Structure 1
Amino acid sequence: MVNNNKLSRNLTLISLILAGEAIFFLPFVLPRIFRPTLLAVFEINNTELGSFFSVYGVVAMVSYFFGGPLADRFPARSLMVVALSLTAFGGMMLFTIPQSLYMKMLYGFWGMTTILLFWAALIRATREWGGALLQGRAFGWLEGGRGLTAAIMATLGLYVFSSQTTTADILISERIYAFRLVILVISGVTLLSAVLVWIFVPKSTIRLKDESLSFNNVKQILAKPSVWLLSVIIVCAYVGYKITDDFSLYAKEVMGYSEVKAVGVGTSALWMRAFTAFIVGITADRLRIVRVISVCFILSLLGGFLLAIGVLQSNITLTMVNLTFLMIGIYGVRALYFALIHQGGIPLVLTGTAVGIVSIIGFTPDVFMSPWMGSLLDNNPGAIGHQKVFLVLSVFSLIGFIAIRVFSIVRK
């Protein structure tokens, strides 16, 4: 019986992990890993790509507010299955290589499917899985597993893409054909994850009744200083995560890598994301979550600053070492920030509402970061643009470090 219960818990977490990454692969991970290819195939620049993400971000901001209470009221399993199925359907539109207007509509659609129906439900299900003692492990393993899933799928996508491109100077027809194959594979995995969630994720046992969904719940959450500090922490952490979109382009334009090798750098970052999240998830439950997040912000601050001043630019080896520590900082904070919900004294029954409120502020980089980064890169060609992007990372990492230190005082 114990073994069956352990197996059931493991299968639940694996399903949450796969679903938690699969739903974001089409709108975010593909552009992150295949950014140079996507720009060429869709015949757009960085600023235009940023505008797609902005549409997503605006829809997401509204969806966070309504999606939180939705997750407290309806079974997480049902919400996630619908969201995954609709997101995979959107992949079929991406397959057609639509024009800019339709891409904006698609990203708006994905903003609804991934956030309104999915995000708060995923966080709530993960918190329930972790219980009172394993919050660091629950969210660390969720993020690590998501990173591992992304790394495996990116590696598969890289194999599919490279197998269809036989020369260094890739023809546009080859790019389109290879990219479409990648889209089909990712859409299929997204749909498969919906099936696994339906089979292995149990229904939530603690839910708000209809009559308890009131403004008083929102007031109760907003009255906690820890909620506001957590929002700031997530903003700073998410700015760093959005800047990882620049890694593959940085490798191509500054480090001089080929298009395929640049994709390889982005894929390597996903493997680092998985490794980092698994390690910090275990470490945080032993050494305190706040302490580990503080160290990770320091790594992001220092790593971003070294890239911003260009001191390592002429040395590829040192640049890669610095990028590695930078990834550890960025992915370490990302793995743990939602584990702070438990430490912030937020009741389990209001997890969805809290996630919705925190996310409205915390994920505003979905609105402003991609256009800002695109503008910096397009208006400052070459290394200068990338240096300005990493300077932004350093500033937000400093703010995040200050916020987590204040959080550690306020929550006591």
Structure 2
Amino acid sequence: MAKTKNSAKIVTLILMMLSLNTIYVLPYLMYTYYTPLQEAMRLVGQDAAYGKLLNIYGIANVILYLPGGWIADKFDAKKLLIISMIGTGALGLWEATWPSYTMLMVIHVAWAFTTVLTYWSASIKCINLIAGSDEQGSMFGTLEAGRGIVGIVLTSFFVAIFTRFSADSAKAMSYVVVSCSIVMILVGVAMIFLMPKTSSDGSTNEGLVDSIKAMLFAFKLPITYLLAGMICGACVAQAGISYLAPYLANVCGMDQNMTVIFANYNRTVCTLIGAGVSAIAAKKMGRSSKFMIYAGVGSIVSYLALILIPGSAAMMYPIMIIMIFSTLCYPVFRALYYAVIDEIGTSKNQVGSVIGIASLIGFLPDTFYTSLCGAQIEADPVGGYRFVFITCMAAMALGLVCAIISDRLVLKFRKTPEYLDSLKEG
């Protein structure tokens, strides 16, 4: 697959940009529409219960990451991606009817099957396969940057819909959810006709025994746990971003419509810039881990500033600038940490297993973090937001340490005969 034709690479990359940028919008919708979605779900004043929806989704994810990795190493990614996109969109159409809290939990559990079991590891392995060994960082960075471009377009569309019907939160959010669901279903249909086959010789395990061996071997690889640490850092930072807009509204006094606009464009524009710079930097530096180190340091400094600067109307704009900088840093990790899998010399038939195991560990915060933050904010609003900033800083410190160790392992691998021989063959 490293010799995949450029035209096939481009088509696959574009479809994956559309896919990755939409499939997680609905499960994580509270990140950008925290208060309006809470109102639509009739959970106002119940921040802990509201956060539990995402935690239920996270718990199901954790259970399914491991078998999802096995599935990605066993079946053609294209088929898995099609099932995932159409299934997630169909569940979104159900959510838009705003059923009972119990049914909302059922939907979030079902989303774990369509966004993790059949999608997550398969989507990352898809890019791993179409990219050559010398373009992993630039390919993953381009993917993340493309998601930013698609995100700006879709965000503008969704924000326009929300603003048009914002007088009725339930109605506005219904239109947003339905629109996103339709886009996902259309992308799934497009994959059927436009995406080439995404498997190759040696990239999948034929028998059950081979699959089990690959999974067990992945448990022994250092990259599995280093990747888990980097994922954890970005996971907590991403979740923490959902509290930036509420902090501006509840502590600094920003207007709610302005916070929705800030939350959407802050995330999408920063993803575009952060990932775009990552693609260029990874190619220029020759490896992905080095630029992650810089991003980790920047993230820690920005969260420290948010902890130390008191929230107020007078400090609202300086705080916004710091928030924007902190949001620029975490997409660097998301754009590049999967590139390290190949840069460190991992076999193609083990990629799915490495991603599955690392995701199981790295995304553990999804099982409790938002409900924990919600409980902290309910008990003490100002102190609760400070708790968010402190935990984000600690998580990114973990990611930084893992990026530093990964960088050393990449350099070590590039001195091996295996890597030097691959350069001669290339």
TM-score by length of 2: 0.90
Deviation at 1:291, TM superposition (A): 1.4
2:272 aligned with 1:274:
yes
CA contact (8 A) 1:71 1:124 kept: yes
Question: What does residue 282 of structure 2 align with?
Answer: 284
Deviations 1:299-323 (A, max 9, x none): 1111111112224753223212211
In 2, the alpha carbon distance for the partners of 1:46 and 1:151 equals 28
In 2, the alpha carbon distance for the partners of 1:348 and 1:21 equals 25
Question: What does residue 251 of structure 2 align with?
Answer: 254
CA contact (8 A) 2:252 2:311 kept: no
CA contact (8 A) 1:33 1:154 kept: no
CA contact (8 A) 1:296 1:333 kept: yes
Alignment of 1:51-70 (within 5 A): 51-70=52-71
Structure number with higher helix proportion: 1
Question: What does residue 336 of structure 1 align with?
Answer: 336
In 1, the alpha carbon distance for the partners of 2:274 and 2:186 equals 26
In 2, the alpha carbon distance for the partners of 1:385 and 1:225 equals 35
Question: What does residue 229 of structure 1 align with?
Answer: 226
CA contact (8 A) 1:66 1:116 kept: yes
CA contact (8 A) 2:233 2:396 kept: yes
Deviations 1:62-88 (A, max 9, x none): 211111111111111111101111111
2:404 aligned with 1:405:
yes
Question: What does residue 298 of structure 2 align with?
Answer: 299
User: Structure 1 residues 105-114 or 138-147, which shifts more?
Assistant: 138-147
- Residue of 186, 190, 197 corresponding to 2:184: 190
Question: What does residue 317 of structure 1 align with?
Answer: 317
Deviation at 1:147, TM superposition (A): 2.8
In 1, the alpha carbon distance for the partners of 2:283 and 2:98 equals 45
In 1, the alpha carbon distance for the partners of 2:252 and 2:150 equals 27
In 2, the alpha carbon distance for the partners of 1:330 and 1:308 equals 18
AA partner of residue 257 (structure 2): V
AA partner of residue 406 (structure 2): F
Question: What does residue 16 of structure 2 align with?
Answer: 16
CA contact (8 A) 1:25 1:150 kept: no
Alignment length, in residue pairs?
400
Secondary structure class of the residue paired with 2:73: helix
Deviation at 1:5, TM superposition (A): 4.2
2:43 aligned with 1:47:
no
Question: What does residue 235 of structure 2 align with?
Answer: 238
Deviation at 1:213, TM superposition (A): 3.2
In 2, the alpha carbon distance for the partners of 1:191 and 1:374 equals 32
Deviation at 1:212, TM superposition (A): 4.7
Deviation at 1:211, TM superposition (A): 4.4
Question: What does residue 347 of structure 2 align with?
Answer: 347
In 2, the alpha carbon distance for the partners of 1:83 and 1:126 equals 16
Question: What does residue 384 of structure 1 align with?
Answer: 383
Secondary structure class of the residue paired with 2:253: coil
Deviation at 1:201, TM superposition (A): 2.1
RMSD: 1.7
Question: What does residue 205 of structure 1 align with?
Answer: 200
Secondary structure class of the residue paired with 2:243: helix
Secondary structure class of the residue paired with 2:134: coil
Secondary structure class of the residue paired with 1:27: coil
In 2, the alpha carbon distance for the partners of 1:300 and 1:315 equals 20
User: Structure 1 residues 203-212 or 244-253, which shifts more?
Assistant: 203-212
In 1, the alpha carbon distance for the partners of 2:108 and 2:47 equals 16
In 1, the alpha carbon distance for the partners of 2:284 and 2:229 equals 25
CA contact (8 A) 2:69 2:353 kept: yes
Q: CA 1:125–1:251 in 2, change beyond 3 Å: closer, same or farther?
A: same
Deviation at 1:246, TM superposition (A): 1.2
User: Structure 1 residues 143-152 or 57-66, which shifts more?
Assistant: 143-152
Mark the runs of 5 or more structure 2 residues left unpaired by the alignment.
Answer: 413-426
TM-score by length of 1: 0.93
Deviation at 1:158, TM superposition (A): 0.9
Which runs of 4 or more aligned residues in structure 1 lie more than 6 Å from their structure 2 counterparts after TM superposition?
A: none
AA partner of residue 292 (structure 1): F
Among all aligned residue pairs of Structure 1 and Structure 2, give the percentage whose two residues are the same amino acid.
Answer: 23
CA contact (8 A) 1:377 1:385 kept: yes
